[in-house]
Amino acid sequence: MDLLRHLSTVERKYKELEASLGDPQVAGTPSRYRELAMQFAELRDVYRTLQEYRSVVKTEEEASSMLADSAGDEELAQWAGQELEEARARRDLLESKLKFFLLPKDPNDGKNVLLEIRAGTGGEEASLFAMELLRMYSRFAETSGWRVQMMSLNESESGGLKEGILLLSGKNVYQRLKFESGVHRVQRVPATESSGRIHTSAVTVAVLPEAEEVDVDIDPNELRIDFYRSSGPGGQSVNTTDSAVRITHKPTGLVVTCQDEKSQHKNKAKALKILRSRLMDRIRREQQAKISAQRRSQVGTGDRSAKIRTYNFSQGRVTDHRAGVTVYKLDSILQGGLASFLGEVSSILLSRAFEERLAEEEARAS
């Protein structure tokens, strides 16, 4: 099996590290010992999961053999069938886990995230749903123990959201949210619809790993910075000074505005942070586009034009179209109860990414 062939290399490395850590010479060199101990710790979960996987495969084979030999013994057949079903379910779970271990580590997984939400097609209904998604992700972040900071908020006249940007800080934020980029579609009867007709609207979500100054070098000469007086619906955030900031990156044409702070300096700092992350995301997506051009599937590439999810209010349903996952827990999810749903979606997409990687390696080998 290809999976086991790849894992045999990991197993061999684990045993080599285990032997090295028992070497008195290594133990006598603290820096070398720490380095090998860290590598050993990283492989420990993979090794243990592999041992359990092999044990489960053996149990599955024994149960299958017992079931085949149970003719005339109904009680034995029932027991063997149950053992076989449980072993297969456990094997599938462990297989997905092992595939995840073998995927190349995404260097951005540990980064904080700039989460950008924009109303798309659907007019005011789209802006109202965009605000609901902003609250959903904020609640999810809070229950995950992350820090939530509003970077930019542009509301509509009715209290909806034209555009909102959150900075989510915490442990492995990007790893857990990186598959959320794309078009989120809502199907429901708007409050203003007297005939009860269901409308379809769309909201775009972009998940950008936070870029530090060392990640993206911006030449100040390539920026045009304009200051102006901020404004907002209903007179909100209106200042008597020119504290709002608009930064234009001349080479790419990217424009970032920020007016939420009363301080010109703070708005400029926020705008630069957003611009830096958008530039890094642009570079990353260009690289992914080159890779995706050689693939049939673009699952997990963060393509913002792809419709990834539908929220159907009449059925209380949320469907992720890439992973083929549907749950009837719409209210819970909109309240921030995303953990298990995102976990299932991520597991499927990561498993698919692993299969694509294997196929590419086999194609190159042949």
Tokens standing for 73? 């013994």
Q: What is the pLDDT of residue 2?
A: 66
Instruction: Please enumerate in sequence order all residues whose Cβ is within 8 A of that of 57, keeping only pairs 6 or more positions apart, or say none.
Output: 87, 91
Q: Mean pLDDT for the chain?
A: 85
Domains delineated in the chain: 2-102 (1.20.120), 113-356 (3.30.70.1660)
Q: Is 90 exceeded by the pLDDT of residue 113?
A: yes
Q: Is 70 exceeded by the pLDDT of residue 83?
A: yes
Q: What is the pLDDT of residue 213?
A: 65
Q: 287-345, pLDDT tens digit by residue? A: 667 645 544 343 344 445 679 999 999 999 999 999 999 999 999 999 999 999 998 89
Q: What is the pLDDT of residue 288?
A: 66
Q: What is the CA radius of gyration of the chain?
A: 26
Q: How far apart are the first and last CA of the chain?
A: 17
Give exposure, 332-348, as e/b (b: 16+ Cβ within 10 Å). Answer: ebbebbbeebbeebbbb
Q: What is the pLDDT of residue 305?
A: 62
Kindly state the average pLDDT of the residues 340-355: 84
Task: Lowest mean pLDDT of 25-34, 59-68, 195-204, 232-241, name the range.
Answer: 232-241
What pTM was estimated for this model as a whole? 0.67
